[in-house]
Amino acid sequence: MKVTSLFTNYAASQGLVALLRDKCRGDELVMVDQSYEKLSIDIPELASADLLIIECPNAETLDWGVLEEFNLTYPQATSVLITDGDMERILIQAMRVGVRDVIRESEAESQLPGVIARARARLEAIAGRNSAGKIFTFIPCKGGSGTSFIVSNLAYIMGTVLKKKVLLFDLDLQFSDASFYISDDQSQRSLGDLVRKTEVDGNSLEAACIMVGKQLWLLRAPQNPEQAVGITPEQIDNILTVATKRFDYIFVDLERTLDPLSLRAMDRSQYVFPIMQAVLPYVRGTQRLQRTFRALHYPDSKVRLIANRQGNKNSDLPVDKIEAALHTRIYRQLPNDFPNASVSISSGKPLYDIAPDGLLTKALVQFALQLAESTGDHVRESSAGEHGVSSAWKQFTSMFR
């Protein structure tokens, strides 16, 4: 990995310099002293950098446009800004130009080792050398889209029907309702218990979850709002890292409001699935999300739009008009199966257990199969056949022959 560091106060940054030399021993490390000139990143040393670290206490001197150009030119790279000042304003600007981490000067030495480790893991994943579990995040385009119901039942089907080891991570800290759709477990185990631990490993992660069936572990959001206070992006990142070594798939249920925790989960995801309905308010909500995704420099292949509750001819907008307005294709349409969904929600039992042959159930089974195929995970037909869906598998795979 090529690591390039720019310093505007090299003499006062010897602690950082020593840390970089220690943590990047096997890397190509380039350190540039710009103490006596205006900070510039339009220099030859940045060519093909995999990790760019900028130490710049005064962000006003930074050329944000050149930094954005660097992130567009090297999309596989991770850019990090170490600074002080109005952090809220700096975070917004940094997000717009694709900077992945912003660290306070006083916290740099403690935070930088984790940043380096994440950059290394990200580079390995892009290079295709990481065979760890796949992360999918689901986010509502507008309230009431049915996101938690869809992601919880999709995760259950991935475990029950496809026989995969699955983690459902409820990161909706405001409502925390994913568990209500598939379980009546009243235990208090949650994310709040996990983040209080000094170290998180696979055993402690599973111990903080509740079991739903034999293949699905559910990590609930804290049931008490006070327990959600103080959870950091670094803690979420660490949990996801542990989860990818323990599970085949990690499904993350996000709340509608984007925050640093949601952004960290989406950054780590192979795919981000915004969920909408085919009515005008959801189209507008999707357009707002699309602007955020563009600011984060997410490629189109990472964001896959889902249209939920399809089939109401009297109120649904035509799919072709929605796609034209959003300039993107709808990845998957899920039918409106209100009677079965209502029974599932009221009973707190998975949709697959309530109505295995229902319209929405069949659509979710095919969705799970499509996800497995898209990640190179070839599901044995016998696994699907045990649950009466081998015909769906045959129908789906025939499209690729």
Secondary structure of residue 322 in the 3-state scheme: helix
The C-alpha atoms of residue 214 and residue 159 are separated, in whole angstroms, by 8
Structure confidence at residue 37 (pLDDT): 65
Q: How confident is the model at residue 378 (pLDDT cuts 50, 70, 90)?
A: low
The C-alpha atoms of residue 289 and residue 286 are separated, in whole angstroms, by 5
For the chain, the farthest-separated pair of C-alpha atoms sits apart, in whole angstroms, at 71
More confident residue, 128 or 277: 277
Q: How confident is the model at residue 384 (pLDDT cuts 50, 70, 90)?
A: low
- In tens, the pLDDT along 313-331 reads 777 899 999 999 999 999 9
Find out whether 286 and 318 touch, Cβ atoms under 8 Å: no
Domains 2-126 and 134-391 share a fold: yes
For residue 364, the Cα-to-chain-centroid distance in whole angstroms is 20
More confident residue, 2 or 168: 168
Structure confidence at residue 131 (pLDDT): 60
Instruction: Point out which residues pair with 170 in neighbouring strands.
Output: 253
Secondary structure of residue 24 in the 3-state scheme: coil
For residues 25-57, b (16+ Cβ closer than 10 Å) or e, as one string? Answer: eebebbbbebeeeebebeeeebeebbbbbbbbe
CATH among 3.40.50.300, 2.60.40.10, 3.40.50.2300, 1.10.40.50 for 134-391:
3.40.50.300
Concatenating the DSSP letter of every residue in 279-313 gives SHHHHHHHHHHHHHHHHTT--TTTB-EEEEEE--T
Instruction: Output the six-digit token pair for 253.
Output: 């249920």
* Whether pLDDT at 38 is above 70: no
Burial of 199 (0-12, 13-18, 19+ CB in 10 A): exposed
The CATH architecture one would assign to domain 2-126 is 3-Layer(aba) Sandwich (3.40)
Mean of pLDDT values over 4-30: 86
Cβ atoms within 10 A of the Cβ of 250, count?
27
- In tens, the pLDDT along 220-234 reads 998 877 778 889 999
Concatenating the DSSP letter of every residue in 330-352 gives EEEEEE--HHHHHHHHHHT--HH
- In tens, the pLDDT along 291-300 reads 999 988 999 9
Domain segments of the chain as ranges: 2-126, 134-391
For residue 344, the Cα-to-chain-centroid distance in whole angstroms is 27
